[in-house]
Amino acid sequence: MLAFLLRRLIQACFVLIVISLISFAIQDKLGDPVRQMVGMTTTPEVREQLRDELGLNDGFITQYTRFAKNALTGDFGTSYYYKEPTIDVILKKLPATFELAFCAILLVICIATPFGVITAIHPKHLVSRLIMLVSSIGLSIPIFIIAIFMVYVFSIQWNLAPSFGRGETTLLFGFWESGLFTKDGLSHLLLPSLSLAIALIPIFVRLIRSEMSEVLQSEYIRFAWSKGLSAPRIYFFHALKNTMLPIITIGGIQAGTLVAYTILTETIFQWPGMGFLFMDAVSRVDTPLISAYLMVVGGMFVVMNTFVDLIYGLVNPTVRLASHGL
C-alpha cells in the first residue's frame, strides 16, 4: 500500500514536470501580459522596464529554472491581475468547481447505471430503444449547445432554476465555501451540474450496457439462476458488481474529460470556479495563473486516478494492492 502510494507520488511529480514544461512553452504565444497590465498611455520604455522586472526578457531556460525553484518551495508565482499568489487564487475557486464536478459525477452514476442496466436486461424493449436513441443523440451534441439550450428552456422559458452564479453559500471549516447546504445554492447547482452530467451520461449508458450484456451471458450468471436467486439479486448484485470493474477504470479516465468540460460549463453558467478563472486568465494573458491552473489540474488527475485504483482494488478481489505492492 505504502509502496503503491509512493509510486503514485513519483508519477505525480513526473506528470507535473511535463505539464509545467508544456505550459511554459506555450505562454509567450498567448499574447503580451504587459499590454493587459498597463494603460494606453504607458511609454515603451516603462513597458520594457516592467518586462525586465517580471523577468519576461530572460530566456526560456532561465525563466523555467526560476519557476521550478520557486515551485519547489510552494510558490507558483503571483497572478498579474489579482496580485496574489496564484495558488491562493486557484484554491479559493476550487470548492466551486469541486462541488460542481461532484454533483455531476453523482448524477452520471445515478442516471447512467439504471439506464445501462435496463437496456442490457431488455435490449429489445421500447424503453431501451428510446434510451439508446436519446443517448446517441446526446453523444453527438456538443456540451455548450446542451448548456445554452438548458438555460433557454429551464431558466428563461420556464423559470425553474437560476442560470448563473452559485447563489447563497455557507462557509465550512473556515475556508470551504459550499453551496450544497442552502436551498438557493442547490438550485444554482442544478443546471450546471446537469449539463455537465449530460455530456458523460450517454457514454456511460453505452459502456454499462455493453459490459453488462456480456456479463449476463456468463456461466456464473446462469449458475446464479439455477440456484433460484431472485432477478434483482442476480442483476444488481451478481451482474452489476462484475460490470463495474471496467467501468471504474474508464470512469477514472473520463474524470479528466470532466475537468475539461467544467471550463465550458462554468463559462456558460458564470460559475465562479477554476474553469471560469482559467478562461479569464487566458483572456488577460495572466501566464502565471495559467501555468498554476494546469499544474493543479494535473495534480488532480493523478489524485483522481490513484483514488480510482484504490476503489478498483476494493471491488476486484483478484487485485490486492497491498499484497502485490502495485
Partner 1 sequence: MNLLSVEHLNVNFHFKKRELTALIDVSFNLKRGERIAIVGESGAGKSILGFSIVNLIGKPGYIQSGTIKLENKDITKMNLRQLQEIRGKRIAMIFQDPMMTLNPVITIGDQLVETIRSHTKINYKDAKNIAIEKLRNVQIASPERRFDQYPHELSGGMRQRVIIASVLLLNPDIIIADEPTTALDVTIQAEILQLLLAICRDNGVALILISHDLGVVSKVAERTLVMYAGQIVEEGPTLEIINDPQHPYTQGLLNALPQMALPGQRLNQIKGSMPSLAERPSGCAFHPRCPYATDKCRTQQPEFIYSGVSSVACFMVEDMLSEFSQDDEGSL
- Residues of this chain that interact with partner 1 (CB under 8 A) are 218-220, 222-231, 233, 237-238, 241-242, 245, 315-318
In angstroms, the CA 136 to CA 116 distance is 13
For residues 40 and 61, is the Cβ–Cβ distance under 8 A? no
Nearest residue (CB) to partner 1, 155 versus 316: 316
Chain position carrying cell 505525480: 12
Nearest residue (CB) to partner 1, 206 versus 238: 238
Q: What value does the CA radius of gyration of the chain take, rounded to a whole number of Å?
A: 24
In angstroms, the CA 88 to CA 84 distance is 7
Nearest residue (CB) to partner 1, 35 versus 227: 227
- Which of 175, 156, 19 lies closest to 98, judged by CA? 175
Nearest residue (CB) to partner 1, 150 versus 208: 208
Q: What's the closest the beta carbon of residue 326 comes to partner 1, in angstroms?
A: 16
Q: What's the closest the beta carbon of residue 233 comes to partner 1, in angstroms?
A: 7
Residues 6+ apart with CB under 8 A from 27: 287, 290, 291
Q: What's the closest the beta carbon of residue 118 comes to partner 1, in angstroms?
A: 17
Residues 6+ apart with CB under 8 A from 3: 325, 326
Q: What's the closest the beta carbon of residue 314 comes to partner 1, in angstroms?
A: 10
For residues 276 and 262, is the Cβ–Cβ distance under 8 A? no
Nearest residue (CB) to partner 1, 41 versus 217: 217
Q: What's the closest the beta carbon of residue 224 comes to partner 1, in angstroms?
A: 7
